[in-house]
Amino acid sequence: MVSGSFHTRWMRTQTGWTIAYPDGHGAGDKLPVVVSLHGRGGTHRTSFSSLGLDTYLDQVVKAGTPAFAIASVDGGDHSYWHRRTDGTDASAMVRDEFLPLLAERGLDTERLGLFGWSMGGYGALLMAGKQKLPVKAVAVSSPALFTSPGATAAGAFDSPADFDANNVHGHPEWLRGVRLLMDCGLQDPFYAATKNLAGRLSPKPAGGFTEGAHNKDYWRRMVPAQLRFLGPILRA
């Protein structure tokens, strides 16, 4: 893994990042890249320290999945990866600052995937959907999908209008044509909304619904199949 930081004008702070390469690859290799968006309260380290994406990446590539890198970046404690009324915008930071940084380091951002869980799962759907980030594929676990302004987590949106403008659950058409895998546990508070959205998407997303709660044990269990989903599509 390689880590660093940069000053982001979109988040008005110094932000950290990490890139994980599979065994046999390293800095400068022109690999496809998956940007991993962390959940609420996470950082660029959480994708690896909590979910173990680097370990699982080594395992699936060794077993035959086409190689790619995974990159993560700090998106703020509760930005929910969209533009806020104070002018900060974690999604614009990814698009305008982080992707160019990855390209400068040799990664192939034309073969781009997104990965995320909870807040980051919502952010991945929003970026690939409404914001039309040109991704090849998206894999999410337990996306933080809220069905009304009154049902949102504290700090996730600035107002009912902000919620309406970024309501992924209410706009399945945003994701039309996106190659998508969605997983959610049956005991997860976002299960009902995730299943409802999945049933309205075209094409139908891969993944599904199995026993599990909103925790890292479930998310880690889903990771290998999610990486195996992403790899061949990015290499195609």
Which CATH number do you get for residue 153? 3.40.50.1820
CA separation for the pair 10, 92 (Å, rounded): 7
**What separation in angstroms does the CA of 122 have from each of 41, 78, 102, 103, 138?**
14, 12, 22, 25, 11
Provide the pLDDT for residue 236: 85
Tokens encoding 216: 């890292």
CA separation for the pair 43, 40 (Å, rounded): 9
Q: What angle do CA 201, 203, 209 make, to 5 degrees?
A: 65
Range 55-73 average pLDDT: 98
Tokens encoding 69: 């890198």
Q: pLDDT by residue (tens digit) across 84-122? A: 999 999 999 999 999 999 999 999 999 999 999 999 999
Q: pLDDT by residue (tens digit) across 125-163? A: 999 999 999 999 999 999 999 999 999 999 999 999 999
21 has a pLDDT exceeding 90: yes
Provide the CB-side half-sphere exposure for 217 (13 A, CA): 6
Provide the pLDDT for residue 173: 97
- Cα torsion 27, 16, 9, 163 to 10°: value is 110
Give me the chain's average pLDDT, please.
97
Query: Beta partners for 18?
Result: 3, 72
Range 51-76 average pLDDT: 98
Q: Write the single-letter amino acid at 108.
A: D
Range 178-189 average pLDDT: 98
SS3 of residue 61 by DSSP: helix
Provide the pLDDT for residue 229: 98
**How far out from the chain centre does Cα 14 lie?**
21
Domain count, the chain: 1
Range 201-223 average pLDDT: 97
CA separation for the pair 78, 6 (Å, rounded): 20
Name the pairing type of β-strands 32-37 and 137-141.
Answer: unpaired
Decide: 99 and 111 in contact? Cβ < 8 Å: no
Rounded to 5 degrees, what are φ and ψ at 193? -70, -40
Rg (CA), the chain: 16
The boundaries of the domain holding residue 174 are 2-235
Q: pLDDT by residue (tens digit) across 221-233? A: 999 999 999 999 9
